[in-house]
Each structure stands twice: as structure tokens, then as C-alpha cells.
């Protein structure tokens, strides 16, 4: 029986699934980040992560290593530029059906299970993609940390550091984040903190990780942290509302008259303040939109795309097995 490979590769984690023709998940694994291939050593890091993670999943499936495994089809959903990743992966993955797509593509397919609607992705970065009732797709955002990534973990952390600097400059609102951030990061001042990033000693991924601390302070009642998170929710809602209008017009309804699905994916949405702000801002403009969590996670969107490339259609029964089965039978939470 043939095996299908599905991968969701991001700036923080790479998730892999190996499944058979009947939709049964035979192996799954997680590895490190598979982004930044444009940087020196990036293609080599990508190959190492993919080899290691796919081999872990294949071992669970009782199969051979990736160098000796033929796949019926494989789909990789990846952040950033896909052409370099395609070139790296072609010699590694043995299949005649290899697709490397932007991670918003597999996230959309998983989130709506192919129905008209959109997904907003907010992790280290942010992007949104939607599909109308005729199969046409539009992507907005995803311009990276220098020119975009509104509402992302990176943007949240950057705003927190800006707030700390503004307080120490004397014109910012006091926040309990200031002494705690400086203490936890073992720096003496905002000058030292920011110098770590400008010098390159600390990366953009390091900065994005500070978003968890912003959530911590917002939950404890810090007004500045709360404003940052609600602002992130509004920024992400702006992506959704813009995309709704582009896809469905001012009436914001599908060709059949149904309300489109607005879904959301990524660690930023695990923060209740961001999610609540996002929902409220979308509903204020598009009250009929159905704001729902994703039907399937992005890695299972990759699996659906791999199946489709081989002409294999999945039934609702298969979807149900993915979403309801226990970890020992089909999958843990992904």
C-alpha cells in the first residue's frame, strides 16, 4: 500500500504526517524550524530537519528511511519563498508528485476543508488567504517582519519593547513589563536590550518568543500589555475583513448565499485577548461571517493536497477519524 507524506514547515516547528491510501495516519513527528533558507546554511538546515523528522514519522509507520522510501505523493506547506525549498527537497523526497506550497495554502485547505472562506495565520509572522465559491484564491499580508507581519508574535513583542523604551524615555505609560523583561533578559536597560537585536546577537525568532510574556502580563492586568494584544487582534481582523470584501464583495456572502467561514490558525490566537479582539472586530464589519476554529490543522491540509494530487478523495468519515480519534489510534493534537 502506498504512503503519502504531508509536511507543515514553519519558522518555529516542522510537523510531518505519513498516511496510507485509506486515510489512516501511520506516523507523525515534529522537528525544528524549516524556514530561513535564503540565509547562509539555510538549505542545509532545511534538508537536515526534513530528513530527521520524516525519518521519525517513517519509523512509526514501520517503513524504511526517507532515502529508500517512495511516496505516492508529498505536499509541503512552507513559510516564505518556496522555489528554494522545492530545489532542496526534490533530491530528498522520492515521489513523482511533489508539491511545495506557501503555508497559507495548506492552512486554508485544512481550516475550511475546501469550503469558501478564509484563514488568518498568526504565529511568528502573519498572513491571510481565502477562497471564493468558484475556487479562486487570494492571499494578502505575509510581507515579513520588516514590512508586514501585523498582529504576529514578532509584532506583539516589538510593541512591548517599544513600550518599555517609551516608558524609560519618559513619555510612555508605565508598565510592569519593564523591570521584568530587563531582569529576565539579564540586561540593564532598554538600550542594552535593543542593542542585542540590532547587533544580531538575538534573532527575530527570539523576539517573537517574548509574546508569551506579553500575554502573561495582560492576564495579570497590565494595561499596556492588554492594549498591545487587543491591537494585534484588530490588525489581524483587518486582514480578514479586507479579504472578505475582495472575495465576496460588500455583501460578504458566498455565491450560494451562505456566510463564508473565517478561520484562524497559529499560536498568537491561543491568547484569549487577541482572539476576542479579532472576533469582535470582524463581526463589527461582517456580522454574518462564521468565525470558527479550523476544521483540520495545516499539516492535515497538506495531506489533503497530497491526496488530491494523486486523485484520492477523502470522505467525511476520514475527516472524522482525524479529528475524533485518540492519540493511540490516529493522531495526537497537532
Do 124 and 242 lie in a common domain? yes
List the CATH number of the domain containing 309. Answer: 3.30.420.40
HSE-up of 248 (CA within 13 Å, CB side)?
A: 27
Do 94 and 237 lie in a common domain? no
Do 280 and 166 lie in a common domain? yes
Range of the domain at 213: 115-294
Do 270 and 218 lie in a common domain? yes
Residue 36: the pLDDT is 66
Residue 117: the pLDDT is 92
HSE-up of 140 (CA within 13 Å, CB side)?
A: 19
Residue 74: the pLDDT is 95
Q: Would 284 be classed as within a structural domain?
A: yes
Residue 68: the pLDDT is 83
pLDDT < 50: residue spans in the chain: 325-334
Do 84 and 164 lie in a common domain? no
Counting Cβ atoms within 10 Å, is residue 190 exposed (0-12), middle (13-18) or buried (19+)? buried
Do 132 and 276 lie in a common domain? yes
Cα 315 from Cα 42, distance rounded (Å)? 38
Q: Which of 295, 302, 286 is nearest to 322 (CA)?
A: 295
Do 254 and 228 lie in a common domain? yes
Q: Would 76 be classed as within a structural domain?
A: yes
Compute the chain's Rg from CA coordinates.
21
Strands 137-141 and 98-102: unpaired
Do 137 and 100 lie in a common domain? no
Q: Would 332 be classed as within a structural domain?
A: no
Tens of pLDDT, residues 227-279: 999 999 999 999 999 999 999 887 665 555 578 899 999 899 999 999 999 99
Q: Would 52 be classed as within a structural domain?
A: yes
Residue 37: the pLDDT is 63
Instruction: Fill in the DSSP letter of residue 190.
Output: H
End-to-end CA distance of the chain: 25
pTM (global) more than 0.85: no
Q: Which of 91, 130, 90 is nearest to 114 (CA)?
A: 130
Domain total for the chain?
Answer: 2
Do 271 and 168 lie in a common domain? yes
Residue 263: the pLDDT is 95
Instruction: Fill in the DSSP letter of residue 313.
Output: P
Residue 194: the pLDDT is 94
Burial track 251-266 (b if 16+ CB lie within 10 A, e otherwise): ebbbeeeebbbbbbbb
Q: Would 40 be classed as within a structural domain?
A: yes
Strands 290-291 and 3-9: unpaired
Do 229 and 185 lie in a common domain? yes
Q: Would 331 be classed as within a structural domain?
A: no
Residue 254: the pLDDT is 54
Q: Would 330 be classed as within a structural domain?
A: no
Q: Would 182 be classed as within a structural domain?
A: yes
- Beta bridge mates, 117: 131, 261
Do 147 and 287 lie in a common domain? yes
Cα 223 from Cα 96, distance rounded (Å)? 54
Do 249 and 121 lie in a common domain? yes
Amino acid at each position: 500500500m502506498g504512503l503519502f507524506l504531508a509536511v507543515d514547515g514553519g519558522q518555529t516547528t516542522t510537523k510531518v504526517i505519513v498516511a496510507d491510501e485509506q486515510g489512516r495516519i501511520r506516523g507523525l513527528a515534529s522537528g525544528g524550524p524549516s524556514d530561513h533558507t535564503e540565509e547562509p546554511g539555510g538549505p542545509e538546515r532545511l534538508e537536515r530537519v526534513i530528513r530527521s523528522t520524516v525519518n521519525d514519522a517513517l519509523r512509526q509507520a514501520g517503513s524504511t528511511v526517507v532515502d529508500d522510501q517512495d511516496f505516492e505523493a508529498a505536499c509541503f506547506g512552507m513559510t516564505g519563498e518556496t522555489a528554494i525549498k522545492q530545489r532542496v527537497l526534490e533530491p530528498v523526497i522520492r515521489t513523482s508528485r511533489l508539491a511545495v506550497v506557501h503555508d497559507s495554502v495548506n492552512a486554508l485547505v485544512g481550516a475550511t476543508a475546501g469550503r469558501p472562506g478564509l484563514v488568518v495565520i498568526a504565529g511568528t509572522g502573519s498572513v491571510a488567504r481565502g477562497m471564493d465559491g468558484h475556487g479562486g484564491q487570494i492571499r494578502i499580508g505575509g510581507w515579513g517582519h520588516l514590512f508586514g507581519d501585523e498582529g504576529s508574535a514578532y509584532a506583539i513583542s516589538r510593541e512591548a519593547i517599544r513600550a518599555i523604551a517609551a516608558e524609560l524615555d519618559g513619555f510612555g505609560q508605565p508598565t510592569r513589563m519593564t523591570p521584568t523583561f530587563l531582569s529576565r533578559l539579564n540586561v540593564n536597560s532598554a538600550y542594552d536590550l535593543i542593542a542585542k537585536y540590532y547587533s544580531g546577537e538575538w534573532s527575530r525568532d527570539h523576539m517573537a518568543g517574548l509574546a508569551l510574556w506579553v500575554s502573561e502580563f495582560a492576564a495579570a492586568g497590565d494595561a499596556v500589555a492588554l492594549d498591545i494584544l487587543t491591537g494585534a487582534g484588530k490588525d489581524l481582523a483587518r486582514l480578514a475583513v479586507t479579504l472578505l470584501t475582495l472575495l465576496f464583495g460588500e455583501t460578504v456572502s458566498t455565491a450560494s448565499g451562505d456566510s463564508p467561514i473565517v478561520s484562524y490558525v497559529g499560536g498568537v490566537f491561543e491568547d484569549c485577548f487577541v482572539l476576542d479582539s479579532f472576533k469582535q472586530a470582524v463581526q463589527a464589519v461582517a456580522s454574518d461571517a462564521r468565525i470558527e476554529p479550523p476544521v483540520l490543522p495545516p499539516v492535515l491540509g497538506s495531506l489533503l493536497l497530497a491526496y488530491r494530487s494523486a486523485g484520492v478523495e477523502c470522505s467525511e468519515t476520514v475527516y472524522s477519524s482525524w479529528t475524533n480519534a485518540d492519540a493511540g489510534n490516529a493522531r495526537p493534537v497537532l
